[in-house]
Amino acid sequence: MIEFSWEFHATNVKFKRMNKANIKITLLLGIFFLCCKCNKEEEPVSVPNPEPELEEKVDFDINYSFLESGSYVQDRNFYLFTLMQEISNVRSELENDEILTSFQNSFMSEVASLASNQSASIEQIADDMRISQSEMDAVASQLGNQLSSSIEIDKMIAQHARPSGIFQKYSSVSNKRMVELAWIAACEGINNIIEEYALGEEPRDKVSDGPAYNVNTEEYRKKTWEIVEQINQNKDDFTLFFEPALYFSLELLKLNNRDEAGKYEPLRNGENKSAIAYIPSVNWGGYTYASILLLGDSPNSPGDDVRISESAKIRVKLAADRYHSGKAPLIIISGANVYPFQTPYYEAVEMKKWMMDNYNVPEKAIIVDPHGRHTTTNLRNASRYIFRYGIPDSIKSIVTATESHIDYIVSNNYTNTCFKHFGYMPVVLKDRISINDVEFLPKLISLHADAIDPLDP
């Protein structure tokens, strides 16, 4: 009964979404879902919250070469879609799938209806451009079926998704399950962008991460509707089932100048190029720690320079002192453009400049993370750099910051916030060796990308 109810509900949604589409396609989809049955060995598709102690499968390959869509914001938030677009054989199979095509046709029917209604409310636009849970499940099921019969889609998961580390939360499941879960997570990312940047729902940090406009104004409603109109006018450009919704969400970010996820990319060829070249030559046995993670701070207090706060200067000195005393060969500086709202100055970049100019720390010893917007993501991102840049993950690192900041990191409140936002702890905290420092080890699960935080997935 549970299986039948889920399938019947999914079918009803497709009829509703497709009520203006070709009736033959509707019947085809209805027959498909009425004939499908959930595999008894796998539960209905949903995004899990893995327990932190679950054993992870290590498919991550430090030498994996990422594919690119031409948009770093897309690639960091929606790498599954980049893979589907850029691997030609996968793209061709998906474009020729009748069920996925029917989903796209029904979605474009809604787009056409919205485009013909210049007075459509922002709520109506958001509602029609979001992907419903039943639609997520229906497409996830079809993607799983495709993988079961497609060598190319299976290879996409085995040769790209797994070694990339982007889907590390799903490392222990089958390739079929991974593509289902990755699809649903991407849909939730799209929906979250629509909810935050079309409807104005509260983001992770309501002061720094929200839209640049008042979403309740007629001007903003019109700008949002114009994105829909663009999709309708260029409908022939969207040949994959997810592309209209993806385009809409990315344009919402662009409209609000929220391109932080792509700033300073590719870091390997820019801010971090010198450090990456230096890392293979490091004699790790000569140091107590692998790295010093320096937490950023925004210039939002009286007397602060517009580029760097007084607290950030104090933190820089703390990290530089530890570097020059031989504690570690590398300093990872983490901090984005958090405060004031949409400032052009990124904490990590400005702190790097201050450190090099005032404390004689060479550029090769500094890794910049210009994306970390919260203490939770500061440590998560540091874990990522340790794994991706080949820093020994078995050697402890230290976090360095002000006493109050370290107090927070070792508190239950920090742990609870990590589980709330990620579903896991991004590091293993060890000893607090001073009021300004605490040891940690990185966790591989931190490689997992999270589109629910589109400014730093």
Q: For residue 100, give its domain range.
A: 2-261
Q: For residue 155, what pLDDT is reported?
A: 97
Statement to judge: residues 353 and 417 lie in one domain: yes
User: Among 226, 261, 296, where does a domain finish?
Assistant: 261
CA distance 181 to 125: 26
Residue with tokens 């829909």: 228
State whether 230 and 274 are in the same domain. no
Q: What's the whole-number mean pLDDT along residues 345-360?
A: 98
Beta bridge partner(s), residue 369: 334
Q: Answer yes or no: do 246 and 316 share one domain.
A: no
In a domain, 453, yes or no: no
Mark whether 77 and 134 lie in a shared domain.
yes
Q: What is the C-alpha separation between 142 and 137, in angstroms, rounded? A: 9
- 382 and 437 share a domain? yes
In the chain the first and final C-alpha atoms are separated, in Å, by: 38
Does 89 lie in the same domain as 25? Answer: yes
Say whether both 257 and 277 belong to one domain.
no
Check residue 332 and report its DSSP letter.
E
Three-state DSSP state, 319: helix
Give the number of other Cβ atoms within 10 Å of residue 340's Cβ.
Answer: 13
Distances (CA, A) of 127 to 96, 185, 186, 194, 407: 27, 18, 17, 9, 43
pLDDT band at 22 (very low <50, low <70, confident <90, very high): very low
What is the rounded average pLDDT for all residues in the chain? 89
Give the per-residue pLDDT at 30: 43
In sequence order, which residues have a C-beta less than 8 Å from that of residue 455 and are 6 or more positions away?
Answer: 209, 258, 260, 261, 336, 371, 373
User: What is the average pLDDT across 232-236?
Assistant: 97
Tally of structural domains, the chain: 2
* pLDDT for 58: 83
The conformation of residue 45, written as its DSSP 8-state character, comes to P
Instruction: Name the domain boundary from 220, 240, 261.
Output: 261
Q: Is residue 94 part of a domain?
A: yes
CA dist., res. 130 & res. 1, Å (int): 28
Residue 457 lies inside a defined structural domain of this protein: no
What are the residues whose beta carbons fall under 8 Å from the beta carbon of 73, sequence distance 6 or more?
250, 253, 259, 261, 262, 454
The confidence score (pLDDT) of residue 406 equals 98
Amino acid at 123: E
| 205 pLDDT tier (thresholds 50, 70, 90) | confident
Q: Which of 60, 58, 74 is nearest to 161 (CA)?
A: 60
Residue with tokens 């990522």: 384
Q: Mapping DSSP to helix (H, G, I), strand (E, B) and coil, where does residue 433 land?
A: strand
Q: How far apart are CA 34 and CA 32, in angstroms?
A: 6
User: What Rg, from alpha-carbon coordinates, does the chain have?
Assistant: 23
- In tens, the pLDDT along 26-60 reads 434 443 433 433 333 333 334 444 444 445 678 99
Give pLDDT, residue 1: 30
pLDDT at 86 over 80: yes
Reported confidence tier of residue 194, pLDDT bands at 50, 70, 90? very high
Do 299 and 165 share a structural domain? no
Looking at the fold, whether 137 and 155 belong to one and the same domain comes out as yes
Smallest CA-to-CA distance from 406 within 429, 377, 428, 437 is with 437
Q: Are 424 and 376 in contact (CB under 8 A)?
A: no
Does the pLDDT of residue 14 top 80, yes or no? no
Nearest 5 degrees, angle CA 174-CA 169-CA 332? 145
- pLDDT digit string, tens, across residues 135-176: 999 999 999 999 999 899 999 999 999 999 999 999 999 999
* pLDDT tens per residue, range 419-432: 999 999 999 999 99
What is the mean pLDDT of the segment spanning 318-324?
98
Structure confidence at residue 38 (pLDDT): 35
- CB environment 429-449: b (16+ within 10 A), e (fewer): beebeeebbbbbbbbbbbbbb
> To 5 degrees, how large is the angle CA 276–CA 277–CA 279?
65
pLDDT at 49: 46
pLDDT band at residue 7 under the 50/70/90 scheme: very low
Which pLDDT belongs to residue 21?
39
Residue 2 has pLDDT above 80, yes or no: no
Is 106 contained in some domain?
A: yes
118 pLDDT above the threshold of 50: yes
Is residue 195 in a domain? yes
pLDDT of 17? 53
Number of Cβ within a 10 Å radius of residue 70 = 9
In CATH, what number is assigned to the domain containing residue 417? 3.40.50.620
* pLDDT, tens digit (0-9, with 9 covering 90-100), for 253-305: 999 999 999 999 999 999 999 999 999 999 999 999 999 999 999 998 888 99
Pairs from 178-182 (Cβ < 8 Å, separation ≥ 24):
179/80, 179/140, 179/143, 179/144, 179/147, 179/153, 180/45, 180/140, 180/141, 180/143, 180/144, 181/45, 181/47, 181/48, 181/140, 182/80
Q: How far apart are CA 171 and CA 60, in angstroms?
A: 9
- The last residue of a domain, from among 261, 283, 300: 261
Average pLDDT over residues 96-109: 95
Task: Report the distance separating Cα 232 and Cα 61, nearest Å.
Answer: 40
Same domain assignment for residues 225 and 301: no
What distances in angstroms separate CA 408 from CA 297, 332, 376, 403, 440, one per listed residue?
A: 14, 19, 11, 9, 14
Going by the DSSP 8-state scheme, the letter that residue 333 receives in this structure is: E
CA diameter of the chain: 74
- Please give the pLDDT value at position 10: 38
> How much is the pLDDT for 31?
36
Q: By mean pLDDT, which of 52-56, 124-128, 362-366, 369-373 is the weakest?
A: 52-56
Percent of residues, the chain, with pLDDT higher than 90 = 85
Q: Any idea which of 90-99, 184-193, 202-211, 325-334 has the lowest mean pLDDT?
A: 202-211
Q: Same domain, yes or no, for 382 and 284?
A: yes
- Within a domain: 454: no
Tell me if 18 is assigned to some domain: yes
Same domain? For 44 and 100 the reply is: yes
Q: What number is the average pLDDT over the span 88-112?
A: 96
The answer to whether residue 47 sits within a structural domain is: yes
